[in-house]
A and B are shown apart, each in its own frame.
Chain A
Amino acid sequence: MKTKRILVIDDEPSITRTMKVNLERTGAYEVRAENHSDRALTTARQFQPDLIFLDVMMPEMDGGAVAQRLQDDPHLQRVPIVFLTAIVTRQETGENGANIGGQTFIAKPLNLER
């Protein structure tokens, strides 16, 4: 079975590392981590992911700006993006995330067990 590619963009290396380890252990995903939002577009072009996890609050460039650049790229505009955010609550997004303005949001911390 062909593994799906997931790109995790978050400025916290500990988050990208633990997500990568957990997702790759399932055997279903190949995961690339990117901790610098200003390099996200280049990494995405090289990696050609099937799904992107994107942190909202990052120092160099916020998640919204990164998403805009990804969607402006003709090779990446169809790649689904799931935003990870620390400033909404799980009650607001629900366990499976929330669709806000056409975008999917998941509240941190993620609960992979659920």
Chain B
Amino acid sequence: MDSVYTDSVNTTTSHLPTAVKATANPPQFSGTTITALAAVVVAVIAWFDYVSGDFSLAVFYLAPVALATWYAGRTSGWFIAVLSAAGWLAGDVALSRTCAHALMPYWNALMLALIYGVVVQLLSALRGFQNGLEERVEQRTASLAKARAELEAAMMRFIEVDKLESIGRLAAGISHEVKNPLMTIAMAADYLAQVVPPTEPDGAAMIQDLREAVERANRVISEMLEFARPGALSLQPEDFHEVAERALGLLKLEITRKHLNIVRDWCEPPPELSLDRNKMEQVLVNVLLNAIQATPEGGKLTLRTRVNAAGFTAEIDDTGVGVSAAHQAKLFEPFFTTKPPGQGTCLGLSVARQIVQLHGGTLRLANRPGGGGARATIQIPSANQHHL
């Protein structure tokens, strides 16, 4: 017996994969409840049959029979069919009709029960066919939904690849068009540094500004190129502390300008890792620059390294404003930034994460456990350090 009342087919929306699930669910009744309700209806009809005298109401019993069969199943349908015939017989016997043969009412009741039974069989066959149809529709709906999800995923990958290829072409074009004038400016700054006399009060500062502007523009272009084609790694055993020191050296000017205190909490012995020296240097420059820009003047940056059985971990703590919950999920998205215009390429952290992933590691950025700033964590599992 079907145990529950269900009616999930919606002919207007069955062709729409998502619409099927969205249709309002009808109230659920158990098979027993439906059968009990049908029995009550049979009793009511039997009573009317009795009080109406000779008027035959046999056809009305089809309603509870159909109700029980459709919603509670064949067994329930047969039960109501027999009950209906019995109800009809009870009314007939109670009226004490005169019949040609004493068994006539029982014979008629049996015939009625058989007719109701035929209806039960037909309706259950129809219900079975409908259930099969519903099942096929559901299977096809699920299959369509799956196909659509796969298509959407493929489209997203295609868009991502296409976006990267477009950025790659754009970056190469921009790189060529921008780096040539940058080279002229850099060379001209070199020339001016030699010919402007030291007595000229603003000369040295302006030349330094020129060089910094060239470096900033060059960094933007380089990060665009790097983002578009992270490329293969050239792995060599490297001392991570040396790579970090070089990155700090490249950011000396920014660190000095903000009077930042750099704390080195290095593990011993220095961790020798399988790294692409130049690319890991870029990771650290990008992560450190992000930390420097987030830290107020006079703040502190702590660089911490640890090695254990699981692998290598480097942490960079700053004393800036930390990461807001709203920004957490977007930190590594290309072109996402909270910095004012001109202070970043919006690609630095994306590029850094790509490179760390190429090394088989992870890069995370979150608030420090005690609050009061953010912590960038680079982890490279031992399993991905093949030479160690």
Q: Are B182 and A109 in contact (CB under 8 A)?
A: yes
Specify which of A18, A84, A91, A111 is in contact with B278 (CB 8 Å cutoff).
A91
- A86–B191 Cα distance when bound, in Å, is 21
Question: Looking at the complex, which of A19-27, A28-36, A65-73 is the stretch in contact with chain B?
Answer: A19-27
- A53–B224 Cα distance when bound, in Å, is 26
Within 8 A of A (CB), among B164-189: 172, 175-176, 178-188
Specify which of B178, B190, B278 is in contact with A94 (CB 8 Å cutoff).
B278
Q: What distance in Å separates the Cβ of B385 from its nearest Cβ neighbour in chain A?
A: 22
Closest to B185 in A: A109
Interface presence of A90 (CB below 8 A): yes
Q: Are A12 and B281 in contact (CB under 8 A)?
A: no
Q: Are B186 and A111 in contact (CB under 8 A)?
A: yes
Interface presence of B282 (CB below 8 A): yes
Q: What distance in Å separates the Cβ of A14 from its nearest Cβ neighbour in chain B?
A: 4
Number of interface residues of B (CB under 8 A): 30
Interface presence of A77 (CB below 8 A): no
Contact pattern, A 74-114, Cβ under 8 Å of B = 1, otherwise 0: 00000000001011111110100000000000011111110
Interface presence of B75 (CB below 8 A): no
Q: Are B184 and A25 in contact (CB under 8 A)?
A: no
Residues of B near A108 (CB, < 8 A) are: 179-180, 182-183
Specify which of A87, A91, A111 is in contact with B279 (CB 8 Å cutoff).
A91
Interface presence of B214 (CB below 8 A): yes
Q: Are A113 and B231 in contact (CB under 8 A)?
A: no
- A15–B214 Cα distance when bound, in Å, is 14
Q: Are A22 and B191 in contact (CB under 8 A)?
A: yes
- A109–B187 Cα distance when bound, in Å, is 8
- A84–B188 Cα distance when bound, in Å, is 17
Q: Are A25 and B194 in contact (CB under 8 A)?
A: yes
Residues of B near A57 (CB, < 8 A) are: 176
- A90–B190 Cα distance when bound, in Å, is 18
Q: Are A113 and B193 in contact (CB under 8 A)?
A: yes
Interface presence of B225 (CB below 8 A): yes
Residues of B near A109 (CB, < 8 A) are: 179, 182-183, 185-187, 214, 218
Interface presence of B222 (CB below 8 A): yes
- A94–B58 Cα distance when bound, in Å, is 98
Closest to B179 in A: A86
Residues of A near B190 (CB, < 8 A) are: 18, 22, 112-113
Q: A12-B180, A18-B184, A92-B278 are in contact. Are A87 and B218 (CB under 8 A)?
A: no
Specify which of B178, B187, B231 is in contact with A15 (CB 8 Å cutoff).
B187
A binding-site residues for B, Cβ under 8 Å: 12, 14-15, 18-19, 21-22, 25, 57, 84, 86-92, 94, 107-113
21 contacts between A and B (CB under 8 A): A12-B180, A12-B184, A19-B187, A21-B187, A22-B187, A22-B194, A57-B176, A84-B183, A86-B175, A86-B179, A86-B180, A86-B183, A87-B175, A89-B222, A89-B225, A90-B222, A91-B278, A94-B278, A108-B182, A109-B185, A113-B190
* Interface contacts beyond A91-B279, A108-B183: sample of 8 additional A-B pairs, CB < 8 Å, sorted by A: A12-B180, A12-B183, A14-B184, A15-B184, A22-B187, A86-B183, A108-B182, A112-B190
